[in-house]
Amino acid sequence: MNQTASLDLPLPACNPWLAHSVTIDRITPEVAGVSTYHLRFVDPEAARNYRFRPGQFNMLYLPGVGESAISLSADPRGHVTWAHTVRTAGNVTQTLAKLGVGGSLGLRGPFGSCWPLDQAMGKDLILVAGGIGLPPLRPVIYEIAARRDEFASVAVLYGARTPDTLLYQAEYDAWRKAGIDLHLTADMSGAGWNGAVGVVPLLLDRLPLADAARTQVWMCGPEVMLKYTVKSALRRGIPAGNLWLSMERNMQCAIGLCGHCQLGPEFVCRNGPVFPWNRMAPYLDVKGL
């Protein structure tokens, strides 16, 4: 059963120290090594009050193992279960992958900044994602699909290493039907693949732009992809102030105390993960940061 939540309501304050108990309601295997976990709050009041904005993340806590930052990949319009798409990497995500439906874990959040949807209204919007960089943009896609007439053109440029590692393939038809112009690429071709071959920024090089000055580009993916996407956008005449990115830096506390995610004066957890490109640009090329 879903409840409808308006994004216009103010977000309830999140107690950053409180780990809510959640259970795995459903697991959607996405591609090899990546699954979406649909989490349900145990406490009905926490379930009722939980809201997030597209771009925000939760800290998922496995007692005795550790905690990891994971973006919400859910529809923000008030589902009772909250999707998190997770790639198995180290201790926490490996343990999560072994929990089945009904397994319990802790959840703190939501944390962080969100994509500037209000700034994109009436404008052309391009979402650019590489690999596991798509989950933090999926809530934006859901939101745009629900409010499509409030935006001008909307394009999603998405790439993965191989065609069989592209996430959310079952949803592409629905996105296209909702008026989203989806362009896919794979670094390497594969059986039955008729799409583009090459890295994601090449899709931006080729995308026709109605008016570069009123085009917004929001991106998430490996830092090398972000760097070349920005180069392409600037070359196409899109103003630097229209570029936004989500940083998925190593993170530990989520509340700006430990410094693991620090880049210069910016704490990705507290000031991000969604940043205007201008604010991150001075730090991304500094080796060792």
- DSSP for 17-50 reads T--EEEEEEEEEEEETTEEEEEEEESSHHHHHH-
Residue 210 in contact with residue 152, Cβ under 8 Å? yes
Contact present, 215 and 122 (Cβ < 8 Å): no
Q: Does 109 bind ligand FAD (CB under 6 A)?
A: no
> Which of 35, 68, 215, 271 lies at the binding interface for ligand FAD (CB under 6 A)?
68
Residue (54 or 135) nearer to ligand FAD, CB: 135
Site for ligand FAD in 122-151 (CB under 6 A): 132, 135
Site string for ligand FAD, 82-101 (x = CB under 6 A): ---xxx-xxxxx--------
Q: Which is nearer to ligand FAD, 89 or 258 (CB)?
A: 89
Residue 193 token pair: 């693949």
Q: Does 16 bind ligand FAD (CB under 6 A)?
A: no
> How many positions of this chain bind ligand FAD (CB under 6 A)?
21
> Shortest approach of ligand FAD to residue 278 CB, angstroms?
20
Nearer to ligand FAD, 85 or 216 (CB): 85
CB 236, min distance to ligand FAD, A: 28
Q: What is the Cα–Cα distance from 84 to 87, expressed in whole angstroms? A: 10
Helix axes 277-284, 223-235, angle to 10 degrees: 120
**Closest CB to ligand FAD: residue number:** 90
**Residue 256 near residue 269, CB atoms below 8 Å:** yes
CB 148 within 8 A of CB 178: yes
Shortest approach of ligand FAD to residue 40 CB, angstroms? 18
Q: List the one residue from 24, 39, 69, 203 that touches ligand FAD (CB under 6 A).
A: 69
Residue 139, Cβ density class (10 Å: 0-12 exposed, 13-18 middle, ≥19 buried):
buried
Choose the stretch contacting ligand FAD; rule: CB under 6 A; options: 160-168, 194-202, 205-213, 242-250: 242-250
Those residues whose C-beta lies under 8 Å from the C-beta of residue 64, and which sit 6 or more positions away, are none
Site map 173..212 versus ligand FAD, x via CB under 6 A: ----------------------------------------
- Residues within the interface to ligand FAD (CB under 6 A): 57, 66, 68-71, 85-87, 89-93, 132, 135, 248-251, 273
